[in-house]
Each structure stands twice: as structure tokens, then as C-alpha cells.
Homo-oligomer: A and B are copies of this chain.
């Protein structure tokens, strides 16, 4: 289908004030007045097909991105080919914050499904957040939250065993789906076992075995990427009671 009507920037724009992600995204906690002023901030939107990059490590940093639809992973590639997934991002979450420090992106952002992001020119964001207090404050919170999240992952990688890691991962996913109005107990993972493994510092076989174990124990029901949580309490208990001793 050919677009004969010229597509203007304005027609692509969707005001934050009218976006149903307002509760999850950058505008969270801002007043209506303030949110209205955000509308000048969000330039265009950009669609990213599954498996395609939103940006790559080394790319010049110009904008941060808010996920409007779909989901992403971010990863770092080591020289020897090893991959470390540093995070999975869902709607309303921000991508690209890593680029501010050196003005180059330091990781890859790859769509896990066909997705769409709002492009937020970084210069404009700094400019506007000098005027709109709520934006400034909220942006700082978003960055700080990312730091806290990363510390959580470090804790997971540094001191949990395989099953604790997977349980923590599932609970985290569940909680984020809930925040988006989806079921806490039943959801569809968009990433492969290998990607989960990379994120959790495990091999895909170990992830698969842990899924099977959880299923045997009646904690979850797994069917490929479809997960049903049957016993949330059981998963939670797993995290804070390392299997041996204590």
C-alpha cells in the first residue's frame, strides 16, 4: 500500500499526555501542565522489526528512547565473541541511558519482537528539564532506578545459585507484566533460553533444566515461551532460602 498522503512529523507524533503508558514512562509523577510541555520533546516515533538493532555499541549517542510497543534486550559483546545480555526492556521503559557518559552507545539494543519507540532528542531533554522541574526530577529517578536495578542483577549474578536466579527472573517478569495490566501468573516470554541464560549468567541447558525442575515441583507450568506461575510463594521462598544449610 503506497502512502500518497505526505506523512508529516506532526501526524506521527503522539502526545505523551494522550499515551496510555504515562503511568510507566518518563512522565510518571509529573503534573498535567508539565506533561503537556513534554509533547514538544518527543520527536518522531520509530518502528524496529524483530531482531533489528535500535542502536549498536559504538554508535553516536543522540537520543534516548521510550518503548511504546514491544520489547528489547540490551547486550554487550566481548572481543572473543561472548555475549552478555545486560537487560530486557518492556513498554514504558527507557533505552539509551548508557550513551550519555561517553556520547557513544556502550551496548546494543535489539528488538525481541516488532516494536516501536519514541525518540527523545537528548539535547532537547536537557534543555526542557532545565525549565520543567518535574521532568528533571523524573529523569533523574529513571537513571537512578536503572542503577538500582543493575545492583540487583549484580547481587543475583554474584551470590545466587541457578534456581534462585531463575526464580528471581520469573518474579521480576511477573511483576512487570502486572504493572502493565497483564496477568501476573501467565505470560509469554519474548526471549530465548539462551538469552535468559546470558542475562542470568547461566548456560541455556541450565535454564532449561531449572524450568523443568520448577515444573516438576508444581511451581510453574512451562510450554515453550509460555509461562504459567502456579505457586508464587514457592518461587519467592526459593530466593531467600538457599537450598543447602540454613
Interface centre among A140, A141, A242 (most CB of B within 10 A): A140
Kindly provide the distance from the CB of A203 to the nearest chain B CB, expressed in whole angstroms. Answer: 11
**B106, A158: Cβ atoms closer than 8 Å:** no
Copies of this chain in its oligomeric complex: 2
Choose, from A16-24, A96-104, A179-187, the stretch at the interface: A96-104
Judge whether A217 is part of the interface by a CB distance below 8 angstroms: no
Chain A contact residues, majority secondary structure: helix
Q: Which of B82, B146, B199 contacts A147 (CB 8 A)?
A: B146
Kindly provide the distance from the CB of A80 to the nearest chain B CB, expressed in whole angstroms. Answer: 6
B residues in contact with A86, CB < 8 Å? 151, 154-155
Q: Which 6 A-B pairs have the closest CB atoms?
A: A100-B144, A150-B150, A158-B201, A157-B157, A101-B144, A101-B145
A-B contact pairs, 21 of them (CB 8 A): A76-B151, A79-B240, A84-B154, A84-B158, A86-B151, A86-B154, A97-B143, A97-B147, A98-B144, A101-B141, A101-B142, A101-B144, A101-B148, A126-B133, A140-B143, A143-B143, A150-B154, A153-B154, A157-B158, A158-B198, A158-B200
